[in-house]
Structure 1
């Protein structure tokens, strides 16, 4: 897998997360996603860490 393919795959996973989060409620309005909250283009991948066999952790930040 190339870095471009990996980046595209990570972006798709976060896009699916944002879609799901837009339909759920939150008790903390500052973390609302989409529709007046955090927009997809403000989520930034900071790092990607291998935690073991086929397990990865993404480190993300929100660019306010």
Structure 2
């Protein structure tokens, strides 16, 4: 499951990209891409944390 923060960052990043394209602001567009990429990394990190916790729980049994 993806965290709310990750989803929010993905949406905001996409909005910044669109805004940058509409206004021809390359910096704003790049900020949006960076934020969206950050959200993907954040989601993957959350997924790995959950897998690690599950594995730790399995090994403790």
Q: Which has the higher contact order (CA 8 A, sep 6+)?
A: 2
Greater helix fraction, Structure 1 or Structure 2: 2
* TM-score normalised by length of structure 1: 0.36
* TM-score normalised by length of structure 2: 0.38
> Is the radius of gyration larger for structure 1 or structure 2?
2
